[in-house]
Amino acid sequence: MTVSHILGYPRIGAQRELKKATEAYWKGEMDRESLEASARELRSRHWQAQHSAGLDWVTVGDFAFYDQVLNVSTLLGAVPQRFAADSEVAQGDIDLDTTFRMARGRAPSGTPAAACEMTKYFDTNYHYLVPELHQGQRFQLATQRLFDEVAEAQQLGYNVKVTLTGPLTWLWLGKEKGQAFERLSLLEGVLDVYCEILTRLAGQGVEWVQLDEPALVQDLPLAWQQAYERAYHRLQAAPLKLMVATYFGALGDNLSLATRLPVAGLHVDAVRAPEQLDHVIDRLGPHQVLSVGAVDGRNIWRADLAALRERLLPVRVRLGSRLWLAPSCSLLHVPVDLDAETELDSELTQWLAFARQKLDEVVSLSRLLDNRPTAEDEARLAAATRALDARRDSARTHRQAVKERLAAIQPGDSERRSVYAERAVAQRRKLALPLFPTTTIGSFPQTQDIRAARRAYKAGELSREAYEARMREEIAYTIERQDALGLDVPVHGEAERNDMVEYFGEQLDGFAFTRFGWVQSYGSRCVKPPIIYGDVTRPQPMTVRWSEYAQSLTDKPMKGMLTGPVTILQWSFVRDDQSRATTCRQIALTLRDEVNSLEAAGIGVIQIDEPALREGLPLRQGQWQDYLDWAVDCFKLSAAGVRDETQIHTHMCYSEFNDIIAAIAALDADVITIETSRSDMELLDAFQDFAYPNEIGPGVYDIHTPNIPDVEWMVQLMEKALEKIPAERLWVNPDCGLKTRGWAEVEPALANMVQAAEVLRRRH
Name the residue whose CB lies closest to ligand GLN: 737
**217 or 648: CB nearest Zn ion:** 648
- If binding is defined by CB under 6 A, does position 442 make contact with ligand GLN? yes
Closest by Cα among 750, 692, 728 to 433: 728
Residue 550 binding: pick among ligand GLN, Zn ion, none (C-beta 5-8 Å cut-off by kind): none
- If binding is defined by CB under 6 A, does position 753 make contact with ligand GLN? no
**364 or 446: CB nearest Zn ion:** 446
Angstrom distance (rounded) from CA 45 to CA 47: 6
Helices (H) and strands (E) in the chain, counts: 28, 21
Point out which span in 405-413, 465-473, 706-714, 734-742 binds ligand GLN (CB under 6 A): 734-742
Taking the complex as a whole, the smallest distance from the CB of residue 494 to ligand GLN amounts, in Å, to 6
Strand partners, 732: 438
Angstrom distance (rounded) from CA 196 to CA 164: 14
Among residue numbers 498 through 527, which ones bind ligand GLN (CB under 6 A)?
500
Taking the complex as a whole, the smallest distance from the CB of residue 736 to Zn ion amounts, in Å, to 3
Taking the complex as a whole, the smallest distance from the CB of residue 548 to Zn ion amounts, in Å, to 24
Residue 606 binding: pick among Zn ion, ligand GLN, none (C-beta 5-8 Å cut-off by kind): none
**315 or 736: CB nearest ligand GLN:** 736
Strand partners, 267: 245, 291
What does residue 755 show for φ and ψ, rounded to 5 degrees?
A: -60, -40
Among residue numbers 697 through 736, which ones bind Zn ion (CB under 5 A)?
736
**191 or 667: CB nearest ligand GLN:** 667
Among residue numbers 545 through 584, which ones bind ligand GLN (CB under 6 A)?
561
Q: Where are the alpha helices (DSSP H) in 217-304?
A: 222-235, 255-260, 277-283
- If binding is defined by CB under 6 A, does position 651 make contact with ligand GLN? yes
Are 691 and 671 contacting, i.e. CB atoms less than 8 angstroms apart? no
Residue 303 binding: pick among ligand GLN, Zn ion, none (C-beta 5-8 Å cut-off by kind): none
Angle at 65 between CA 196 and CA 117, to 5 degrees: 85
Segments of 456-589 assigned E as strands: 509-512, 519-522, 525-527, 531-537, 559-563
Are 469 and 532 contacting, i.e. CB atoms less than 8 angstroms apart? no
Q: At 744, which helix (H) or strand (E)?
A: helix 743-763
Site string for ligand GLN, 599-628 (x = CB under 6 A): ----------x-x-----------------
How far is Cα of residue 375 from the mean position of the Cα atoms in its chain?
39
Strand order of the β-sheet with 605-609 is 559-563, 605-609, 647-652, 671-674, 695-698
Longest dimension (CA), the chain: 82
Residue 500 binding: pick among Zn ion, ligand GLN, none (C-beta 5-8 Å cut-off by kind): ligand GLN
**22 or 673: CB nearest Zn ion:** 673
Strand partners, 243: 210, 265
Closest by Cα among 396, 405, 731 to 586: 405
Residues in the chain: 764
- If binding is defined by CB under 6 A, does position 739 make contact with ligand GLN? yes
Among residue numbers 72 through 101, which ones bind ligand GLN (CB under 6 A)?
none
Angstrom distance (rounded) from CA 336 to CA 6: 14
Among residue numbers 643 through 682, which ones bind Zn ion (CB under 5 A)?
653
- If binding is defined by CB under 5 A, does position 162 make contact with Zn ion? no
Residue 443 binding: pick among Zn ion, ligand GLN, none (C-beta 5-8 Å cut-off by kind): ligand GLN
Which position among 737, 741, 752, 756 is part of the footprint of ligand GLN (CB under 6 A)? 737
Are 718 and 676 contacting, i.e. CB atoms less than 8 angstroms apart? no
**238 or 674: CB nearest ligand GLN:** 674
Strand partners, 163: 210
Taking the complex as a whole, the smallest distance from the CB of residue 737 to ligand GLN amounts, in Å, to 2
Which position among 133, 653, 754, 760 is part of the footprint of ligand GLN (CB under 6 A)? 653
Residue 739 binding: pick among Zn ion, ligand GLN, none (C-beta 5-8 Å cut-off by kind): ligand GLN
Are 727 and 704 contacting, i.e. CB atoms less than 8 angstroms apart? no
**145 or 614: CB nearest ligand GLN:** 614
CB neighbours of residue 118 within 10 Å: 18
Angstrom distance (rounded) from CA 468 to CA 615: 34
Point out which span in 40-48, 195-203, 654-662, 732-740 binds ligand GLN (CB under 6 A): 732-740
Point out which span in 17-25, 37-45, 405-413, 735-743 binds ligand GLN (CB under 6 A): 735-743
Strands 265-269 and 605-609: unpaired
Taking the complex as a whole, the smallest distance from the CB of residue 440 to ligand GLN amounts, in Å, to 7
**57 or 504: CB nearest ligand GLN:** 504
333 is catalytic: no
Among residue numbers 370 through 429, which ones bind ligand GLN (CB under 6 A)?
none
State the catalytic residue, choosing from 134, 279, 704, 764.
704
Angstrom distance (rounded) from CA 56 to CA 243: 15
CA quadruple 104, 109, 113, 116: dihedral sign = negative
Burial of 154 (0-12, 13-18, 19+ CB in 10 A): middle
- If binding is defined by CB under 5 A, does position 85 make contact with Zn ion? no
Taking the complex as a whole, the smallest distance from the CB of residue 687 to ligand GLN amounts, in Å, to 18
Residue 619 binding: pick among ligand GLN, Zn ion, none (C-beta 5-8 Å cut-off by kind): none
- If binding is defined by CB under 6 A, does position 529 make contact with ligand GLN? no
Angstrom distance (rounded) from CA 2 to CA 506: 43
Residues that bind ligand GLN (CB under 6 A): 441-443, 500, 561, 609, 611, 651, 653, 736-737, 739
State the catalytic residues.
704
Residues that bind Zn ion (CB under 5 A): 653, 736
